[in-house]
Structure 1
């Protein structure tokens, strides 16, 4: 019965389901690599009964783990009571009000007012539009340019795609949004030079992830964001922090920018705010910007999504944050992140084709290199083969091969030491296999 069902679903998948960020050729020739049916804790189970450690929290987002019945109960109760009502034209609902208030209470500094979206791409598009609208209200309409960093990822909506510093995402379409510019991701000096070259009076905002996720879990050099904040202040440019991946405990702090003691003017969020139990995201703006909006706006804020302030999603978000706080998952992410790094370093000492390893909370990366001394990469990236082999052994990971050969990690924040040890055991076994079957034959 399972074989028959799998074949039926495979055919239907190939015919009717256009997958996001997927090789169409691979889907059409092989079908889905797994059809998941259940999730519990850090584990996923597929249609055939195979169990996997979800080493990526699916898409960096299932922070509290799978199968949380109390979230399901809250969702059921809210859906029966009020699943959705419009938040346009000053209409509101209690879950949206409560969640906005909660996020304001835990956000850094004076970030105090929340605009809700359905996800990260919408959040970053919104922040870009709000920044440009801000300068219109301030009587500086020429401030429209947005600066972001190479190796950055901000989403796939038109503005978010244009802000993304990974060329492959921009090459997907042939008509890009104008006025987006990119600076080297590890150089505050290059940011200053670019602002000067563009003309500070033309720049609306600088947007950056505290730690670049999809670009390879790139951790900034010491002092980078402190200098960025000073530069933005000097030239009167808004600083937008993209916390879509790094928010809600992922890095061992509630928000990634807390590692640097820097408060942005706007902060985008999604993913971990609901741990994937409902589609939810948003932008938090500073008290100053909010007050300027209130004082300078003379008409309608002509921006909004049907599901902005979705009652069910906001109620799920409230319960999700309650779990994060109640179970001390931010602290656990910091603790397990240190243990993960220790495990990475032990593997690095054992296998000479492991290059740089890094973690910050439960966000990590391991680079694969032909030569540690020179940083030379293998002619054919090794990481895609590696993650195929870890999946065969019950561990789901992702790769980054944009100018690098990196395996990335983002397990649920509930990860225990025993579960971490099992992850490391699978990694060790896979590295040994790859060494014997591939690396030693090159």
Structure 2
């Protein structure tokens, strides 16, 4: 019997093998054929069927380098959203691909509950040292939704093992987004488009208003308000009875709300409130982690250590699907010891070694090239350029940001702060104009600008120049001028 160099026996090629080439979909296939195949067979997330051929803002991306991506038609764009808030080290990093290939050749998979792999151990140790305080025990999963789902289950089981099974409620902030799995979706504070399809959501998921000073639900003004929005969390805790609440979950900077940066007192007081009532604090750093805000983790801006931190996106910069739920030592200790109870939770791809190898290579780049510092410096410059730009554009009601996580809030009238419809034709017009000028991003009433952390000053000048031009077209088309 003939043997491959890998040690596997040679097999005869099976007849009628289906491959992209046999379907006429190899890399040299006509664009029209690829678009139609995608429309017929690929269901893009959060999109209608056949979106590729029915909506102008969908495209096939084929290459990326640094802060730029290229589509199948040869058009190149500045990626102003880092893919989906995650390509922190930039596109086209060969060293990450090479690290993944080496690991896949050595070992592509190990049983997540019965055996450890070297990359998973290494990555867990690196994260334990990078994360603040005594966050030290890492549970791996595949994406941000799973990381949050894991955090919620850990919190529930933690209280049950301590003899408080009645602690099952979770408090979030309105407008927040923590994921699309059922528990994470239920614990989010975004109800639009959810209740009509998936309600009723999980019981015991509550929400209060976010620290959204531009549109304060309490009709108050900072600092005279004394940050009432955080006291409202304690009011809700007392109303619900603190011994029924398992956790409060919050993004340090809420992307879903429109890059809402909280007042300086907010997170430290939230930490105190949770401690006072024996409630776990979960900080969702899926978007804000790994340098995005100019610190390795956004919570470090306020010197707050959560009980549980959820991580994803920038953990691998999108080169592989991986996420992590990191717990403080006292939380993990409940599951250990001679009488330790196994966590009632497992995921097939948790700690997948190729994904861990990608994350390790990504974190090495992030630290070696000092991209966190670059995010701080370039983010400050970006924010200053956006403030200057806003002074010339009546469609900009507010400018917000921290590091390379920024947004312009768009309004029909600055005086009334009247917003545009989230999915209205005005927003689509602006996005199409930006793409025409060479920028890809996202807008839903807020125009988001969160480029890769490797961006340079001249690219920020290019980006803000295009935004300036696009807003001028937008305002002229919608009778601002």
TM range (shorter): over 0.9
Which of 383, 387, 392 is matched with 2:431 structurally? 387
Which residue does the alignment assign to 1:311?
Answer: 353
Return the match for 2:311 from 264, 269, 274: 269
Q: Is the 8 A contact 2:252 2:288 kept in 1?
A: yes
Output the TM-score relative to the length of structure 1. 0.95
Instruction: Write out per-residue CA displacement over residues 224-266 of structure 1, whole angstroms, 9 at most, x where no aligned residue.
Output: 1111001000000000000000000000000010011111000
Using the TM superposition, give the Cα deviation of residue 148 of structure 1 relative to its aligned residue in structure 2, in angstroms. 0.5
Q: Residue 142 of structure 2: which of 118, 121, 135 is its match?
A: 118
Cα 1:262–1:353 shift into 2, 3 Å: same
The one of 427, 442, 449 aligned to 1:398: 442
**SS of match in other structure, 1:357:** strand
Task: Find the structure with the greater CA-based Rg.
Answer: 2
| SS of equivalent to 2:296 | coil
The separation in 1 between residues aligned to 2:43 and 2:104, in whole angstroms, is: 29
8 Å contact from structure 1 (residues 368, 383) kept in 2: no
- State the SS of the aligned residue for 1:338: helix
**Maintained 8 Å contact 2:39/2:51:** no
* 1:379-408, Cα deviation, whole Å (9 max, x unpaired): 6574332122101111011112xxxx2111
How is 1:282-297 mapped onto 2 (pairs within 5 angstroms)? 282-295=324-337
- Tell me the distance in 2 between the aligned counterparts of 1:437 and 1:238: 49
1:337 touches 1:360 (CA, 8 Å); kept in 2? yes
| Change in 2 beyond 3 A, CA 1:376/1:92 | same
Using the alignment, how far apart are the partners of 1:100 and 1:33 within structure 2? 37
Measured after TM superposition, the shift of residue 359 of structure 1 is 1.5
Could you tell me which residue of structure 2 aligns to residue 8 of structure 1? 33
The corresponding residue for 2:386 is 344
Q: Is the 8 A contact 2:254 2:261 kept in 1?
A: yes
Q: Say whether the 8 Å CA contact 1:14–1:31 is kept in structure 2.
A: no
RMSD: 1.8
| Count of residues in Structure 1 that have an aligned counterpart in Structure 2 | 436
The answer to whether residue 85 in structure 2 is matched with residue 60 in structure 1 is yes
For the residues of structure 1 that align with 2:480 and 2:275, how far apart are their CA atoms?
A: 53
Q: Separation in 2 of the partners of 1:93 and 1:11?
A: 41
Instruction: Give, in whole Å, the separation in 1 of the partners of 2:338 and 2:381.
Output: 50
Q: Distance in 2 between matches of 1:382 and 1:197?
A: 42
Q: Report 1:252-263 matches (<5 A).
A: 252-263=294-305
* Separation in 2, partners of 1:297, 1:189: 39
Mapping for residues 85-124 of structure 1, pairs under 5 Å: 85-89=110-114, 91-124=115-148
- The reply on whether 1:209 has 2:233 as its aligned counterpart is no
Give the drift of 1:372. Answer: 1.9
Q: CA deviation at 1:87?
A: 2.1
Distance 1:331 1:59, change over 3 A: same
SS at match of 2:206: strand
Contact 1:358 1:366 in 2 (8 A): yes
* Equivalent in the alignment of 1:320: 362
Aligned to 1:435: 475
Distance 1:257 1:311 in 2: 28
Structure 1 match to 2:321: 279
Distance 1:57 1:346, change over 3 A: same
- Give the SS at the match of 1:264: coil
Give the direction of change, closer, same or farther, for the CA distance of 1:381–1:231 in structure 2 (3 Å limit): farther
Change (3 A) 1:264 1:30: closer
> Cα deviations across residues 183-241 of structure 1 (Å, max 9, x unaligned)?
11121111011101111000000000000112311111220111100100000000000
Range with greater deviation from structure 2 (14-23 or 73-82): 14-23
**Structure 1, gaps ≥5 residues long:** none
Distance 1:28 1:175 in 2: 34
- Counting helix residues as a fraction of each chain, which structure ranks higher? 1
The answer for the alignment partner of 2:22 in structure 1 is: none
| 2:447 equivalent to 1:416 | no
Do residues 38 (structure 1) and 30 (structure 2) align? no
Would the aligned equivalents of 2:166 and 2:244 in 1 still touch at CA under 8 Å? yes
Match of 1:142 among 166, 187, 197: 166
The secondary structure found in structure 2 opposite 1:220 is coil
Q: Pick from 175, 184, 190: which aligns with 1:166?
A: 190
Q: Is the Cα contact below 8 Å between 1:2 and 1:47 reproduced in 2?
A: no
Structure 2 residue runs of 5 or longer lacking an equivalent are: 1-25, 212-228
What does residue 243 of structure 1 align with? 285
